Structure 1
Amino acid sequence: MKRTHYFLIFLLGFLAFTNPVKSQTFGKNGMVVSDHYLASEVGVEILKKGGNAIDAAVATAFALAVTHPEAGNIGGGGFIVFMKSDGDVTTFDFREKAPLEASPTMFLDENGEIKDNSNHRGLLSVGVPGTVAGLYQAHQKYGKLPWKDLVEPAIQLAKKGFPMSWGLYRVATRISDADESWDIMKNYFRNSEGEIVAPGELWKQEALAETLTEIKNHGRDGFYKGKVAAEIEAYMKANGGIITQEDLAKYEAVERKPVSTTFDGYEIFSMPPPSSGGVALIEMMNLLEAASIKEVEFNSTAYVHLVAEAMRRAFADRAEFLGDPDFNPKMPVDKLISKEFAKGRFENLDLNHASKSDSSKFGQLYGGDHTTHFSVTDKDGNAVSLTYTLENSYGVKMGSEKLGFIFNNEMGDFNPIPGVTTSTGLIGSDPNLVAPEKRMLSSMTPTIVAKDGKPYLVIGSPGGRTIINTVFQTVLNVLVYEMRIDRAIEAMKIHHQWLPDQILYERHLLSPDTRKALEEMGHKLRPTNNLGVLMGITYDSELGIWVGAADSSSEDGGARGY
C-alpha cells in the first residue's frame, strides 16, 4: 500500500476521533451547536477568548460559509433572535430583498405562467444578500471582540483548507458537472489539478478567502461597496441578473421586536415577520394550550391529529395575512399570536375528524429545504438562535469565481402569480407579492424559550416550509413531554402545511396502527425520510450547565461546549 494511502486512513481515523457522534454535549461556560463541527469549534474558541454569544455567532456564521456551503453563506440571508443576560430579547432581520428592478410579474410569460422556473432558477431568482449586513449590525450593537477577530477564523479555514468530508464529496461528484448553467459549481470542489478534492484531503477556497478578507478589513462595506460590490454587479449584468451596486449599497438589516407568548410558566420568543415562523409557532402553542395538550399522550393518534390540525390552521393564517411588515403595516400579528384567537381556532377543531383545506381561500408558500441553523450560549447567560439560508441546496448554484461564494435563489419565496392560489400549494395572496426592496416571507423559526427570565431552550432548524413545524414539535417535546434535548430533536415529527392537504410523516417512526386510525379520521398521509436538522441547547439548572445536541441527520454537525 502506498504511503499516501496509509496517511489517508490515519487522517480519516483522526477525523472520526475528533468529531465523535454524541447524543449530548455539556458545557459549563458556553455552548455552540451547528451543522459543522469545525464551525462549532470556531465559535467556542471565540467564547474562550472572552467573546459573548453574538461574537461567537458571527464567527460561527462566517465559518459555516466555508465549511457548510450548501446553506452557510454570505450570499443569502436570515434571522437572529438574541436574548441578553438581563432577559431582554431582540431580533435582527437580514432577510434578502427584491432588487430595485423587480416587479410582481417578473417571472411570468405572455400567458401569465411562470417562465422556465425563473423564480427558482437563474439570476432573476437571486435576492439582494443580507447576511453580512445582519452579522455586522448585530456585532456593532452587542459584540465585544473586534470584528476582524471574528472573521479571521473563516479566512484561515478557506485559505489553508479543511478536510473534505464524505458528505461534501458525495455532493461534489453529483453537482460539479450536472448543469452547464451552474457556472461556479464546475470548479467549486476541485483542486489546482482540476480534480474533485477527495475525502480527507484539504479543500481550499482561495477566492472566498479574499472576499472574506475584504469583509474583515472593511466590515459591512467590504461586501456592499468597493470591489466586491462592483464584481457582483458586473457578474449580474453579464449573466442575466438585475442586482446592481445601488441595490447593495441601499441594503440594510433591521432590528425588530420579537413575537412572544407564555406557555405553562415559560416565555417563548421567536422571529416576527418577514419570518412567518414565530407567528405560526406561537399560534400553534396557544392553540394546544387551549386544547390541554398535557393530557394527550405523545405519538398517540389523538396527539398527531391535534398537532396536524393546529398546523393546518396556522399555515392557512400564515398564507392569508403575512409578508414584509414594511410593506404590510396592517398585518394582524397581535391578533394571530393572542390567546383569544387561539381559543377561537380551537373551537372549530373536530377532535374526531380531519378538517378540509380550501384552496379558494388561502394556503401556503413554496420554500426550499436547505437552510442551516445554529444555537449559541455564553457564560453570562446571553443566547443566540440564528437561522440563515440560500433557499435551495447551494442556492441558485451560480456565482462569480472571482468572489468564491454562491448566490441565493430566495426570490422563489415570493408569491409568483398575483391572485392565483391552488390546491397544490401555489399562493397568490397580496401580502407576499414581489415588489422592489421588499423582503420575501420566510419559514425560518429561530426561537428561544426562557424560564425565570433566563434562556432555557435555544432551538431552530432548516427545512423550508417544514421548519416551523419541526421547531414547534421540538418545543412541545421539551416543555410538555419533558424530553432531554437530544431525544426531543430525534423524536418523531410530522408536517401539515394546509396545502396540499396531507400529513407528511417520518418513515418508520409513526406506527402502522396510528396511520390507519388517522386515515379513518379523514387524513391523507405521505411518508418522508426526514424532517428538519435541529440544533438545540437547554439549560440544566440543577447542575448549572448548558446541554447541547446536534441532529444526527447532520453528517458533519456537532455540539461544542466548554
Structure 2
Amino acid sequence: MILTDHTASHGYTEESVLRPHPFHSSKKRHCCHGGGDGFTIISTCFFILTIAITVALIIQIYYGSPEVMPHGAVATDVEECSRVGASILAAGGSAVDVAVASVMCLMVVHPHTVGPGGSGVMLVHDHKMNTTTVIDFQSAVPSGYNHQNPPPGPTEARSVGVPGLLRGLEHAHRKFGKLPWEKLISPSIDIARRGFNVSAQLEDALKKLNNTKSSGDTLFQHFFFPKGHMLKKGDFIQRENFAELLDIVSARGANTFYSLDFDHDNINAMQAEGAEIQARDFRAYEVHELPSVQMTLRNHTIHTSPVFSGGAQLLAALHLLKHANITTTTPQHHLYDSFIQAIRRSYAYLIHLGSGVDAGLVNRTEIETEDLDAEFGGETDAPLPRQLLEQAGSPVSVMDTFDQYVATVVGLGTHFGSRYMTRHGILFNNHLSNLMATAGAGYVPSRPVTSYTPVVITDMNRICGARVVLASPEVGAAVQVVGQLIFRDRPLIDAIKQRRVTVSADNNLVLVDDLRNHEVAPLSGDVRNYLEAQNNTLRILYPPYAGVNGITKDKDALTSWSDSRGGGVAHRLEPPVKPKPEETQTPPPTPPPEVVTPGEPVMMP
C-alpha cells in the first residue's frame, strides 16, 4: 500500500549530541541553601543533579549539537555545482541551502536543462523527526489556457507554463534554510561573470537539434551558436547578463522575477506568437506543499512525491515488480523484461492519475494496491496512452550534518524547453506539451505531468541503518535503480552503474544507452535476443541521458555518486581525522575536508 507520510516518530541517531536547552526557570532558586539538616540538603542537591544530568544526556542523544563539524554530501550533474554545494555545507548550511545553491549553479552552467523559466519538485526528509515534505513548484497552467485545443508542440508559444523554479527555491529556503539567501546565490554570480567551460552534456543536447550552424537571428541562436557555430565541449563562455539577473534576485528575492521587473517585452513577444501566459499568471503563481507518498517494501520505506510528478508511477512500478520474484540470482533477461513490463504498466497508471480520469485520485495520498492489480497489473491488449515527451532535467541529492535529506529535480521540460530566450538568458519551459487532455467530468488539470522523481529510502528496523537519497528526471531510470537496490541488494553505486533501458509506451520500443565510452557494462547479446523475442523493438538511445544522482549512509559511512551518464561528480565533506597523541608534536598537513568522487568513492582514512 502507498501511504501518506504522516508525522513523526521520535528516534535517536548516530550524530546526536548535546544542544543548549533551558533546564530551569530564570528565577533564582535556593534549594541548596534552604533550611534543614545537612543530609537533607546534600541528598536533595544530589537528586537534582542526577535528574539534570539525565535530562542533559537525553537532550544530547536526541537533539544533536551545533558544535558538530559540518559534514555531508551533494551529488549533481556538474562537478563545479557539487563543489558549490560542498562549500555551503562547510559554511554550516542545511541540505535545503545546499540544494538551492547547487541549482543556482546549474542554472548558470547547464542552461539547456535548468533556468528561472523552469520548474521542479523537492522532497525534504528530516530523518531525526521522521517527517517528509514535498515542495511542488512545477509549472502551472495559465489562467487563460484553452483546454479545448490539442496539446501544443514543444516549440510552440502555447507550450510555456507559468514557471515555478525561483519561487519554489525561495519557499524551501524560507522554511528550511539556515544561511542568508544572498550567500546561496553569490557563488553562481561569480561563475557567470568569470566564465566556465561548456560541458559534454550541453554539447550533446545541442547536437540533438541537428543544426551545427545558425544565422544568429534570435537570442537563442546568438547564445548557443556564437558567430554562427554551435558551442562545443570545452568552449569558454561568460554570462554577464545572467549574472545581472541573479544580482537582482539575490538582493530583492524571487518576487522581482514574478512581478516582471525585467524582460516584460519578451513576454509580450511570446503572446504575439500565441502564448496564453499573462502577467497576472506570474503574480498569482503559488508553491504547493504536499504530503509525500510512501511504500513499505522488504524492510525499506520508500518516500517520494505524488502526482503530477513521477513518484506515483515509481511506487506503482515497484508494486508490480514485487510480484516478479526478483532475487539476487534472477537472470538478466528476466530482470530487464520485468523492468520493462512494470514501467509500461505503471506509465498507464500515471496517465490515469494525471488526466483526471477519476478527478479524486489526483488529490489522493493513499492508493490501494488492489486497484493497481485490478486495473494495471494484469496482461491486457488495450492500447497504452500517448507517450509523454522525453523529459530532461537536473537531479540534485543532498545529505547534511543534521540528517536532513533533500532530493530535487528541476528542469525546462525537454532540452532547451520552448527555446524562447530573453536578453538576460532566461529560457522558458515547454511543460504544457505534456498537459493531459481532460477526461474526468469537469476536471481541468492545474499542472502538466512530469516524470521528475525524487526519492528517499529509509530502513524500517534500524534508524541508523542504510538510508538512500536519489533523484532522476526520468521515472523509468529511478524504477531500475531502486529495483536494483531493493530486490537485488545492490549497493547504490552498482545500482546506478547498471545498464538501463528507456521504455517507450508506443510500439513496444525500448531504447538502450550507447555508452561505449563509459564504465557501464553493455547489455549482453542473450538479453537483447530475449527482449526482442518478447516483441520489443530495440534501438540505440544517444546522449545526453537522464542521470540518477544519489547518496547513501549506513551508520556513519557516507558514499556519494553522480551518474556518469549525466557527466557529474559528487562531493563529500567530512571532518578531518584527529592525529594520534604521539603525532601531535609534528602533525602532518591537514587534508582538505572536501572529498571528490569522480570514480570509485574515495574513502577517508
TM bucket (normalised to shorter chain) is 0.7 to 0.9
Q: CA deviation at 1:202?
A: 4.1
Query: Would you say the 8 A contact 2:98–2:398 is kept in 1?
Result: yes
1:430 aligns with 2:439: yes
Given the superposition, is the C-alpha separation of residues 496 and 546 from structure 1 closer, same or farther in structure 2, using an over 3 Å criterion? same
Given the superposition, is the C-alpha separation of residues 364 and 450 from structure 1 closer, same or farther in structure 2, using an over 3 Å criterion? farther
Task: Indicate the residue corresponding to 1:550 in structure 2.
Answer: 562
Which has the larger displacement, 85-94 or 514-523? 514-523
Task: Indicate the residue corresponding to 2:522 in structure 1.
Answer: 509
2:503 to 493, 496, 499: 496
1:472 aligns with 2:475: no
How far apart in 2 are the matches of 1:432 and 1:80?
31
Given the superposition, is the C-alpha separation of residues 207 and 379 from structure 1 closer, same or farther in structure 2, using an over 3 Å criterion? same
How far apart in 1 are the matches of 2:111 and 2:458?
32
Q: CA deviation at 1:225?
A: 1.0
1:122 aligns with 2:130: no
Instruction: Give the TM-score, by structure 2 length.
Output: 0.74
Query: Would you say the 8 A contact 1:319–1:365 is kept in 2?
Result: no
Query: Would you say the 8 A contact 2:472–2:549 is kept in 1?
Result: yes
1:374 aligns with 2:407: no
1:207 aligns with 2:241: yes
Query: Would you say the 8 A contact 1:197–1:203 is kept in 2?
Result: no
Question: Structure 2 counterpart of 1:549, which letter?
Answer: W
Query: Would you say the 8 A contact 1:93–1:134 is kept in 2?
Result: yes
How far apart in 2 are the matches of 1:477 and 1:282?
14
Task: Indicate the residue corresponding to 1:559 in structure 2.
Answer: 570
How far apart in 2 are the matches of 1:397 and 1:450?
39
What's the C-alpha RMSD, in Å, of the aligned pairs? Answer: 3.2
Question: Structure 2 counterpart of 1:212, which letter?
Answer: L
Q: CA deviation at 1:155?
A: 1.4
1:60 aligns with 2:102: yes
Instruction: Give the TM-score, by structure 1 length.
Output: 0.79
Say which SS state the counterpart of residue 499 (structure 1) adopts. coil
Given the superposition, is the C-alpha separation of residues 166 and 432 from structure 1 closer, same or farther in structure 2, using an over 3 Å criterion? farther
Query: Would you say the 8 A contact 1:98–1:434 is kept in 2?
Result: no
Task: Indicate the residue corresponding to 2:469 in structure 1.
Answer: 458
1:528 to 541, 557, 563: 541
How far apart in 2 are the matches of 1:412 and 1:536?
29
Task: Indicate the residue corresponding to 2:141 in structure 1.
Answer: 98
Counterparts of residues 53-92 of structure 1 (less than 5 Å): 53-85=95-127, 86-92=129-135
Count residues in correspondence.
493
> Which segments of 5 or more consecutive residues in structure 2 lack a partner in the other structure?
1-68, 515-520, 574-605
Given the superposition, is the C-alpha separation of residues 284 and 203 from structure 1 closer, same or farther in structure 2, using an over 3 Å criterion? same
Given the superposition, is the C-alpha separation of residues 212 and 235 from structure 1 closer, same or farther in structure 2, using an over 3 Å criterion? farther
Q: CA deviation at 1:50?
A: 0.7
Question: Structure 1 counterpart of 2:162, which letter?
Answer: V
2:294 to 246, 251, 260: 260
Task: Indicate the residue corresponding to 2:598 in structure 1.
Answer: none
Say which SS state the counterpart of residue 252 (structure 1) adopts. coil
Query: Would you say the 8 A contact 1:28–1:546 is kept in 2?
Result: no
How far apart in 1 are the matches of 2:70 and 2:212?
46
1:414 to 420, 429, 435: 435
How far apart in 1 are the matches of 2:448 and 2:207?
32
How far apart in 1 are the matches of 2:222 and 2:435?
31
Write out per-residue CA displacement over residues 189-214 of structure 1, whole angstroms, 9 at most, x where no aligned residue: 477x9987776564211111111122
Q: CA deviation at 1:128?
A: 0.9
Query: Would you say the 8 A contact 2:214–2:229 is kept in 1?
Result: no
How far apart in 2 are the matches of 1:267 and 1:294?
19
Given the superposition, is the C-alpha separation of residues 181 and 255 from structure 1 closer, same or farther in structure 2, using an over 3 Å criterion? farther
Question: Structure 1 counterpart of 2:313, which letter?
Answer: A
1:338 to 362, 368, 384: 368
Q: CA deviation at 1:369?
A: 3.5
Write out per-residue CA displacement over residues 122-160 of structure 1, whole angstroms, 9 at most, x where no aligned residue: 322111111001101111111111111111211111122
Q: CA deviation at 1:388?
A: 1.0
1:36 to 78, 94, 112: 78
How far apart in 1 are the matches of 2:451 and 2:266?
27
Q: CA deviation at 1:386?
A: 0.6
Query: Would you say the 8 A contact 2:195–2:236 is kept in 1?
Result: yes
> Which segments of 5 or more consecutive residues in structure 1 lack a partner in the other structure?
1-26, 108-113, 349-354, 416-427
Given the superposition, is the C-alpha separation of residues 150 and 295 from structure 1 closer, same or farther in structure 2, using an over 3 Å criterion? closer
Task: Indicate the residue corresponding to 2:360 in structure 1.
Answer: 329
1:281 aligns with 2:310: no
Q: Highest relative contact order (Cα 8 Å, sep 6+), 1 or 2? A: 1
Query: Would you say the 8 A contact 1:98–1:411 is kept in 2?
Result: yes
1:134 to 168, 172, 176: 168
Question: Structure 2 counterpart of 1:297, which letter?
Answer: T
Given the superposition, is the C-alpha separation of residues 341 and 140 from structure 1 closer, same or farther in structure 2, using an over 3 Å criterion? same
Query: Would you say the 8 A contact 2:353–2:361 is kept in 1?
Result: no
1:151 to 162, 180, 185: 185
Counterparts of residues 441-452 of structure 1 (less than 5 Å): 441-451=449-459, 452=462
How far apart in 2 are the matches of 1:376 and 1:213?
25
Q: CA deviation at 1:267?
A: 0.6
Q: CA deviation at 1:366?
A: 1.5
How far apart in 2 are the matches of 1:433 and 1:36?
44
Query: Would you say the 8 A contact 1:164–1:200 is kept in 2?
Result: yes
Which has the larger displacement, 205-214 or 251-260? 205-214
Q: CA deviation at 1:166?
A: 5.3
How far apart in 2 are the matches of 1:154 and 1:87?
32
Question: Structure 2 counterpart of 1:413, which letter?
Answer: N
Write out per-residue CA displacement over residues 376-423 of structure 1, whole angstroms, 9 at most, x where no aligned residue: 11111111111011112111222211x2211111111113xxxxxxxx
How far apart in 1 are the matches of 2:359 and 2:493?
39
How far apart in 1 are the matches of 2:231 and 2:349?
47
Given the superposition, is the C-alpha separation of residues 394 and 178 from structure 1 closer, same or farther in structure 2, using an over 3 Å criterion? farther
How far apart in 2 are the matches of 1:553 and 1:120?
24
How far apart in 1 are the matches of 2:157 and 2:318?
38
Say which SS state the counterpart of residue 456 (structure 2) adopts. strand
Q: CA deviation at 1:229?
A: 6.4
Which has the larger displacement, 483-492 or 132-141? 483-492
Which has the larger displacement, 374-383 or 449-458? 449-458
Query: Would you say the 8 A contact 1:189–1:197 is kept in 2?
Result: yes
Question: Structure 2 counterpart of 1:448, which letter?
Answer: V
Question: Structure 2 counterpart of 1:185, which letter?
Answer: F
Which has the larger displacement, 217-226 or 523-532? 523-532
Q: CA deviation at 1:516?
A: 2.6
Task: Indicate the residue corresponding to 1:223 in structure 2.
Answer: 257
Q: CA deviation at 1:293?
A: 2.2
Q: CA deviation at 1:80?
A: 0.3
How far apart in 2 are the matches of 1:433 and 1:272?
22
Structure of larger gyration radius? 2
Task: Indicate the residue corresponding to 2:219 in structure 1.
Answer: 184
